[in-house]
A and B are shown apart, each in its own frame.
Chain A
Amino acid sequence: MASHAFEQHTGEVKVRLAAKNLGELFTEAARALSDLLGVGTEEPPSPWERITLTARDHEALLVGWLNELVARAEIDGRLVRDAMIHDLTSTRLDASIRGVPFRETRTAVKAATFHGLRITPDPHGVSATVILDV
């Protein structure tokens, strides 16, 4: 079962992510970001959109993934609640997302950062801690 929790950071927001595998970690990261950004309406979600990202490793892909969702939320005014990971290698992410308009906005997230970010295997799967600039 994937999970996320918000931890203390003096100036920003620290998110602790845990999941059975990398794909679930990425979908959980999307859920955590969504919880932080706001609340969606009950409207039917937008059609699925395909996203492909490339980066030099899993950590950079996770930062790129979150930043993709931050930018889309701001430009499209939609909160991404649903994400499907189709393929995830150490340098490439292929995913689909869909979202709903904001009913309520909460925290203005500027971007995800690399600071202290490491995706590590543990007995339950994988975990990571990401600091978001807010």
Chain B
Amino acid sequence: MIRAELIAPFEYQLVDEHQPLAARVFADATLIEAIMRDHSLQQLANVRALPGVYGDVYGMPDMHEGYGFPVGGVAATELPDGAISPGGIGFDINCGVRLMTSNLDRASFAPLRERIVHDISRTIPSGYGRGGRLALDDDALCRVLGSGCRELVTHLGFGIAEDLEVIESGGALEGADPTAVSVRALARGRDQLGTLGGGNHFVEVGAVDTIFDADAAHVLGLRADQITLIVHTGSRGLGHQVCSDYLALMDTAQARYGITLPDRQLACAPLSSPEGQRYFAAMRAAANFAFANRQLISHRVRAVFERHAHSPLRLVYDVGHNTAKLERHAGRELCVHRKGATRAFGPANPELPARYRRVGQPVFIPGSMGTASYVLLGTDAAEARSLASVCHGAGRVLSRGAAKRQVTGHALRKELEARGITVRCPSNAELAEEAPEAYKDIDRVVDVVVGAGLARKVARLVPLGVVKG
């Protein structure tokens, strides 16, 4: 039986019987109690079995039970022979969040709210199986997989050059190989660029409610009362298929490398192996597709804001939370798996865009439907304490079925409307699945990452309109 012992403020160590494990969870007493209700501690403990795992594995305060890795889990393996595990990234490769700002404030947005939210919902296809309006042929799709947002901005005109400066890795992971992506994955992704998909994905129009750090907010271009836009989505069916394809491959191949694991969903191969290299190249191609997906959605939402409000939207930053990346920590070359966890580099990291080098990497933590979201900055301390990682959201606490038994979508919709939040969602049932009651308290989750020194607060955003996937 795995349990968690408090070892420092907001930091728990996992213990098996009386044996301390190299696994830590950032939480407070309330969150750790919620986390212990499902199997996520055992899942985090299992992650230590990955070959070549380096140091501790980490659970974020929004952690909950997943499959293989818990959602909100971070683990690094050491190069060259440490493993790469598709399950440690997840099916929705490079699912992530981007924040944009407008030049509108709440008062000027209020009369436009219904029109703008409605137009976004008509412009951005959402929900299961919805294709987009941009059908790419194989050549064009492969160029997107190879160079991500660069292809969209430079050759297809979807965005401006300045956008590329403020997307993680410039919106294009190097080493992506479209030929490592299967024909079926290409078929699933062909018409999905510019679509939200289902689940907890969304486009949210919000407003800056609180500024915690005026200097940092200024650097990020945020001001009180400003209208903002968050896009949360990933690599759609293309990424799901890449993960499925390579899980099946590694499930078979790992025996050749003498790898045995406590959970088959952790299937892996040495990163230096042909299987590991090919998956990593395919994963990076899918990650580029996700960057491009958020870029195209942003481009179309920009047109909506231009149409109704003559307001440009400026990209603050775009960062993924389901990835594996090669990073240097403590002088070691590591493959850092983040599944439902956000990279959060401090100011000292050379990979940051020039404009953020003084303050640190922007991190966006969306709350649940109708609750606040946070803009944070990574700290240098996070590198040593969590491999420069923080949470990715509030984190589920109720199953979808339990959420629907507690809340009806109809009642939730009415409650949100009464609070001045316009909602567009394919169905009331899907809305109920994402009810605030189904998630942990976002304010508490953020207080933990800040209290643990992993990030610092810049601003709190409140929702005004949500288009749910």
The residues of A with any CB-CB pair to B shorter than 8 Å are 6, 8-13, 37-38, 55-56, 59-60, 63-64, 67, 70-71, 73-75, 77, 102, 105-111, 113-117, 131, 133-134
Shortest distance between the CB of B267 and any CB in chain A (Å): 7
A105 to B427, CA, bound (A): 10
Q: How many contacts between A and B, using CB within 8 angstroms?
A: 107
Digitize B29-40: 1 where CB-to-A-CB distance is under 8 Å, 0 elsewhere: 000000000101
Q: Which residue of A lies closest to B40 (CB)?
A: A10
Shortest distance between the CB of B299 and any CB in chain A (Å): 23
Give chain B's interface residue range (CB within 8 Å of chain A).
Answer: 35 or more
Q: A71-B244, A74-B129 are in contact. List 14 more A-B contacts (CB 8 A).
A: A8-B402, A11-B399, A64-B248, A67-B244, A70-B240, A71-B188, A71-B237, A105-B426, A108-B128, A108-B199, A110-B91, A115-B265, A116-B67, A133-B240
Residue B64 at the A interface, CB < 8 A? yes
Contact present for A56 and B251 (CB under 8 Å): yes
Q: Which residue of B lies closest to A59 (CB)?
A: B264
A59 to B398, CA, bound (A): 28
Q: A59-B264, A75-B187 are in contact. Are A111 and B244 (CB under 8 A)?
A: yes
Contact present for B252 and A133 (CB under 8 Å): no
The residues of B with any CB-CB pair to A shorter than 8 Å are 38, 40, 64-68, 71, 87, 90-92, 127-129, 184, 187-188, 197-199, 237, 240-241, 243-244, 247-248, 251-252, 263-265, 267, 396-402, 426, 429, 469
Shortest distance between the CB of B181 and any CB in chain A (Å): 13
A6 to B399, CA, bound (A): 11
Residues of A within 8 A of B40 (CB): 10
A53 to B87, CA, bound (A): 22
Residues of B within 8 A of A73 (CB): 129
Listed A/B pairs (7) with beta-carbon separation below 8 Å: A37-B128, A73-B129, A75-B184, A105-B127, A106-B429, A109-B128, A113-B87
